Chain A
Amino acid sequence: MKIRMALVLLLISNSISAQNRTLSGYIYDFQTGEALIGVNIWSPELKLGTSSNTYGFYSFTLPKGVHVIRLTSFGYENKQFEIDLSENLEFNFQLKTSNNLLNEVDVIASGGQTIQEQVQMSKMEVPIKQLKSLPAILGEVDIMKTLQLLPGIQSGGEGTSGLYVRGGSPDQNLILLDGVPLYNVNHLFGFFSVFNADAISNISLTKGGFPARYGGRLSSVLEINMKEGNMNEFHGDATASIISSKLTLEGPIIKDKASFMISGRRTYLDVIARPFITSSNNNNPNQQTSPKYYFYDTNGKINYKIGKRDRVYLSHFQGQDNFGIKDKYSDSSRTEEFDFGIDWMNSITALRWNHQWSPKLFSNATITRSLYKFNTRAVSETSFLPNFPDTTGQEIENIAALYLSGIEDYGSRIDFDYAHNPLHYVRLGAGYTNHKFTPGATNLRFASTGFNLDTSLGSQSILSDEFFAYVEEEWNIGENFKVNVGLHFAGLAVQNETYTSLQPRIGLNYTLPGDVALKASYADMMQFVNLLTNEGIGLPTDLWVPSTATIKPQTSRQYAAGLAKNLGAFEVSIEGYYKDMQNLVSYKEGANFIFSLNEDWENKITQGNGQSFGTELFVQKKKGKTSGWIGYTLAWSYRQFEEINDGQRYFFTYDRRHDFSAVLTHEITDNIQFSGAWVYGTGRAITLPEYEYVSSIPNGLSWYQQQQVLIQRPTDKNSFRMSAYHRLDLSFSFHRKREHYNRWWMISAYNTYNNLNPFFFETRTDASGNTTLREYGLFPIIPSIAYRIKF
Chain B
Amino acid sequence: MKKIFIPLLVSIALFSCERWEEGIARDIVLPPHNPQIAASLFIDSMDSTLNATISKTGGLFDTTSTNVIKNAKVKLYRDGALLHDLNDFSNNQTYYKFLAEQIGIVNGALIFEVHHPDFETVSATQSFPEKAVFTTKVDYGGTTFFDETSDALTISFTDIPEENQHYLINIHAHYRSGITGQDTAEYFPLYLETTNQNATRINEYGILLSEEGINRNLAIRFATGINSINYLFQLEYRITVSTLSNELYKFYQSYSALQNSQGNPFAEPVILYSNMSNDIGCFGVSTTLKKWDG
Instruction: Please choose the segment from A5-13, A218-226, A690-698 that sits at the chain B interface, where 4 or more of its residues have CB less than 8 A away.
Output: A690-698
Asked if B268 is at the interface of the complex by the 8 Å CB criterion, the answer is yes
Cα–Cα distance between A589 and B253 once the two chains are bound (Å) = 10
Asked if A770 is at the interface of the complex by the 8 Å CB criterion, the answer is yes
The residue in A698, A730, A754 that gathers the most chain B C-beta atoms within 10 A of its C-beta is A698
Whether the Cβ atoms of A590 and B66 lie closer than 8 Å is no
Instruction: Please choose the segment from B77-85, B123-131, B197-205, B216-224 that sits at the chain A interface, where 4 or more of its residues have CB less than 8 A away.
Output: B197-205
Cα–Cα distance between A537 and B267 once the two chains are bound (Å) = 10
Of the residues B9, B16, B33, B40, contact of A690 by C-beta under 8 Å: B33
Asked if A276 is at the interface of the complex by the 8 Å CB criterion, the answer is no
B residues 57-96 with Cβ under 8 Å of A?
57-63, 65-68, 92-94
Cβ distance B90 to chain A, nearest Cβ, rounded Å: 10
Of the residues B27, B256, B266, contact of A541 by C-beta under 8 Å: B266
Whether the Cβ atoms of B203 and A703 lie closer than 8 Å is yes
Whether the Cβ atoms of B271 and A694 lie closer than 8 Å is no
Whether the Cβ atoms of A774 and B19 lie closer than 8 Å is no
CB contacts (< 8 Å) of A593 on chain B: these are: 266
Whether the Cβ atoms of B33 and A691 lie closer than 8 Å is yes
Name the prevailing secondary structure of the A interface residues.
Answer: loop
Asked if A501 is at the interface of the complex by the 8 Å CB criterion, the answer is no
Asked if B22 is at the interface of the complex by the 8 Å CB criterion, the answer is yes
Whether the Cβ atoms of B269 and A589 lie closer than 8 Å is yes
Whether the Cβ atoms of B38 and A694 lie closer than 8 Å is yes
Cα–Cα distance between A780 and B23 once the two chains are bound (Å) = 9
The residue in A591, A592, A646, A695 that gathers the most chain B C-beta atoms within 10 A of its C-beta is A695
The residue in B66, B168, B256, B268 that gathers the most chain A C-beta atoms within 10 A of its C-beta is B268
Whether the Cβ atoms of B284 and A698 lie closer than 8 Å is yes
Whether the Cβ atoms of A691 and B60 lie closer than 8 Å is yes
Cβ distance B172 to chain A, nearest Cβ, rounded Å: 12
Query: Nearest residue in B to A722 (C-beta to C-beta)?
Result: B28
Instruction: Please choose the segment from A47-55, A132-140, A172-180, A705-713 that sits at the chain B interface, where 4 or more of its residues have CB less than 8 A away.
Output: A705-713
Task: Provide the A475-496 mask, 1 if CB < 8 A to any CB of B, else 0.
Answer: 0000000000000000000000
CB contacts (< 8 Å) of B53 on chain A: these are: 694-696, 707-708
Whether the Cβ atoms of A707 and B92 lie closer than 8 Å is yes
Whether the Cβ atoms of B268 and A693 lie closer than 8 Å is no
Of the residues A646, A711, A769, A777, contact of B25 by C-beta under 8 Å: A777
Asked if B121 is at the interface of the complex by the 8 Å CB criterion, the answer is no
Whether the Cβ atoms of A595 and B266 lie closer than 8 Å is yes
The residue in B24, B168, B252, B273 that gathers the most chain A C-beta atoms within 10 A of its C-beta is B24
Query: Nearest residue in A to B208 (C-beta to C-beta)?
Result: A700
Whether the Cβ atoms of A590 and B268 lie closer than 8 Å is yes
Cβ distance B169 to chain A, nearest Cβ, rounded Å: 9
Whether the Cβ atoms of B267 and A772 lie closer than 8 Å is no
Asked if B255 is at the interface of the complex by the 8 Å CB criterion, the answer is yes
Contacts A589-B269, A775-B28 given; indicate if A692 touches B60 (C-beta within 8 A). Answer: yes
Cβ distance B108 to chain A, nearest Cβ, rounded Å: 21
Asked if B56 is at the interface of the complex by the 8 Å CB criterion, the answer is yes
Cα–Cα distance between A788 and B17 once the two chains are bound (Å) = 29
Cβ distance A690 to chain B, nearest Cβ, rounded Å: 6
Of the residues A537, A708, A780, contact of B93 by C-beta under 8 Å: A708
CB contacts (< 8 Å) of B260 on chain A: these are: 590, 596
CB contacts (< 8 Å) of A64 on chain B: these are: none
Whether the Cβ atoms of A756 and B60 lie closer than 8 Å is no
Whether the Cβ atoms of A536 and B58 lie closer than 8 Å is no
Cα–Cα distance between A467 and B72 once the two chains are bound (Å) = 65
The count of chain A contact residues (Cβ–Cβ below 8 Å) is: 67
Whether the Cβ atoms of B257 and A773 lie closer than 8 Å is no
CB contacts (< 8 Å) of B242 on chain A: these are: 699-700
Whether the Cβ atoms of B271 and A701 lie closer than 8 Å is no
Of the residues A591, A645, A753, contact of B15 by C-beta under 8 Å: A753
B residues 252-288 with Cβ under 8 Å of A?
252, 254-261, 264-273, 280-282, 284, 286
Asked if A192 is at the interface of the complex by the 8 Å CB criterion, the answer is no
Whether the Cβ atoms of A753 and B12 lie closer than 8 Å is yes
Name the prevailing secondary structure of the B interface residues.
Answer: mixed
Cα–Cα distance between A435 and B30 once the two chains are bound (Å) = 47
Cα–Cα distance between A729 and B267 once the two chains are bound (Å) = 34
Whether the Cβ atoms of A588 and B268 lie closer than 8 Å is yes
Cβ distance B273 to chain A, nearest Cβ, rounded Å: 7
CB contacts (< 8 Å) of B272 on chain A: these are: 695, 711, 713
CB contacts (< 8 Å) of A723 on chain B: these are: 26, 28
Whether the Cβ atoms of B59 and A713 lie closer than 8 Å is no
Cα–Cα distance between A774 and B266 once the two chains are bound (Å) = 18
Whether the Cβ atoms of B268 and A535 lie closer than 8 Å is yes
Whether the Cβ atoms of B280 and A693 lie closer than 8 Å is yes
Query: Nearest residue in A to B258 (C-beta to C-beta)?
Result: A590
Contacts A589-B271, A713-B57 given; indicate if A754 touches B203 (C-beta within 8 A). Answer: no
Whether the Cβ atoms of B269 and A774 lie closer than 8 Å is no
Cα–Cα distance between A633 and B257 once the two chains are bound (Å) = 37
Of the residues A589, A691, A780, contact of B20 by C-beta under 8 Å: A780
Whether the Cβ atoms of B44 and A699 lie closer than 8 Å is yes
Cβ distance A522 to chain B, nearest Cβ, rounded Å: 33
Query: Nearest residue in B to A702 (C-beta to C-beta)?
Result: B203
CB contacts (< 8 Å) of B282 on chain A: these are: 695
Asked if B150 is at the interface of the complex by the 8 Å CB criterion, the answer is no
Asked if B42 is at the interface of the complex by the 8 Å CB criterion, the answer is yes
Whether the Cβ atoms of B267 and A590 lie closer than 8 Å is yes
Of the residues B58, B170, B205, B284, contact of A693 by C-beta under 8 Å: B58
Whether the Cβ atoms of B16 and A694 lie closer than 8 Å is no
CB contacts (< 8 Å) of A781 on chain B: these are: 16, 20
Query: Nearest residue in B to A690 (C-beta to C-beta)?
Result: B60
CB contacts (< 8 Å) of A391 on chain B: these are: none
Cβ distance B10 to chain A, nearest Cβ, rounded Å: 12
5 contacting pairs across A/B (C-beta < 8 A): A537-B266, A703-B189, A723-B26, A756-B25, A774-B25
* A residues neighboring B (CB under 8 Å): 534-537, 541, 587-596, 645-646, 668, 674, 687, 689-703, 707-708, 710-714, 716-717, 723, 728, 730, 752-756, 758, 761, 763, 769-778, 780-781
* B residues neighboring A (CB under 8 Å): 1, 5, 9, 12, 15-17, 19-20, 22, 24-28, 30, 33, 38, 40-42, 44, 51-53, 55-63, 65-68, 92-94, 168, 170, 189, 202-206, 242, 248, 251-252, 254-261, 264-273, 280-282, 284, 286
Closest 10 CB pairs of A and B: A590-B257, A693-B38, A698-B42, A694-B55, A590-B261, A754-B19, A754-B16, A696-B53, A592-B266, A696-B40
